[in-house]
């Protein structure tokens, strides 16, 4: 049995604890329950939330949150990548972040969002009414703490990305983007298992926008990483990272 299969089998055994008989079936194998905000909920609270929950899938490019429109629901991302964007007064748009499973999508206690969210890939989400979750937060300090933790995590990631955009070279920026995707795109991936394989969730133009580079520069740096053996690329979108350690080195050292 491969390492990844052994790890998943162990995780499944760990999840079948004595409390699972009281947990809704829909929640038992959910990464958002085990590693996301729902992990702070008791079996009874999970039952309450599950009664108001809808699981659904959204195709790539579908709008998930519209800027300045009233917020009525929140979601846990189950699979896929969500693109967060900010619209400027003159109509220009900037990608300001990416979210992955099992991230929480939405801004609690806000009447509307100042950013837009769009499915960068096909996305599966678990959605629930804003009113239900906010009532649960009032009764569950643990849930409030978990949401606070996620907000701080996003703040730390934003600061790290400010460093990437402000100080790193073009080569380091592209390597940092690939590292972000490799380490976040699938919560089941264990980097210690070896090579990591994924499909780029953004088009070259979006990658350029996210990194503050031109499309030509992004393509040139991807080619350099491929020629250096740090990544392998198939069909222009399918990327394999043979060694995460080598990619991490490229994030901090200009490969020119």
Provide the β-strand partners of residue 240.
197, 232
Q: Which two tokens stand for residue 15?
A: 């999840």
Given a contact cutoff of 8 angstroms between Cβ atoms, the answer to whether 87 and 97 are in contact is no
* Best-predicted range by mean pLDDT (18-22, 35-39, 194-198): 194-198
> Among 112, 79, 82, which Cα is nearest to 96's?
82
Predicted pLDDT at 236 = 86
What angle is formed at CA 207 by the lines to CA 198 and CA 97, rounded to 5 degrees? 90
- Of the pLDDT bands very low, low, confident and very high (cuts 50, 70, 90), residue 34 is low
Q: What is the pLDDT of residue 51?
A: 87
Strand order in the sheet with 73-79: 54-58, 123-129, 73-79, 104-105
Task: Supply the pTM of this predicted model.
Answer: 0.82
- CB within 8 A of 190, min separation 6: which ones? 3, 4, 7
Averaged confidence pLDDT in the chain:
85
Give the tens place of pLDDT for each residue, 134-185: 898 888 888 888 888 888 988 898 899 899 989 999 999 999 999 999 999 9
CB 52 within 8 A of CB 100: no
Describe the strand order of the beta sheet including 232-234 as a list of residue ranges: 196-199, 238-241, 232-234
CA distance 50 to 114: 28
pLDDT at 217 over 90: yes
pLDDT digit string (tens) for 74-132? 999 999 999 999 988 888 889 999 999 989 998 888 888 889 999 999 999 999 999 99
């Amino acid at each position: 049995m491969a390492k990844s299969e052994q790890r998943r089998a162990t995780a499944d055994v760990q999840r079948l604890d004595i409390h699972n008989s009281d947990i809704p079936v829909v929640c038992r194998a959910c990464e958002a329950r085990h590693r996301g905000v729902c992990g702070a909920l008791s079996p009874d609270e999970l039952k309450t939330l599950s009664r108001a929950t809808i699981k659904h899938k959204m195709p790539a490019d579908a709008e998930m949150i519209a800027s300045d429109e009233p917020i009525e629901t929140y979601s846990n991302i189950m699979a896929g990548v969500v693109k967060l964007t900010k619209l400027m007064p003159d109509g220009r748009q900037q990608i300001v972040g990416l979210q992955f499973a099992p991230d929480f999508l939405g801004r609690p206690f806000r009447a509307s969002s100042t950013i837009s969210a769009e499915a960068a890939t096909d996305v599966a989400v678990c959605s629930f009414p804003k009113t239900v979750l906010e009532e649960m937060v009032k009764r569950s300090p643990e849930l409030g703490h978990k949401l606070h933790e996620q907000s701080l995590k996003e703040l730390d990631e934003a600061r790290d990305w400010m460093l990437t955009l402000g100080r790193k070279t073009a080569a380091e920026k592209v390597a940092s983007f690939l590292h972000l995707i490799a380490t976040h795109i699938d919560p089941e991936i264990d980097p210690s298992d070896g090579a990591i394989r994924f499909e780029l969730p953004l088009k070259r133009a979006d990658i350029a926008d996210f990194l503050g580079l031109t499309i030509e520069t992004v393509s040139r740096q991807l080619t350099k990483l491929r020629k250096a053996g740090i990544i392998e690329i198939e069909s222009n979108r399918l990327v394999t990272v043979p060694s995460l350690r080598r990619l991490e080195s490229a994030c901090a050292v200009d490969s020119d």
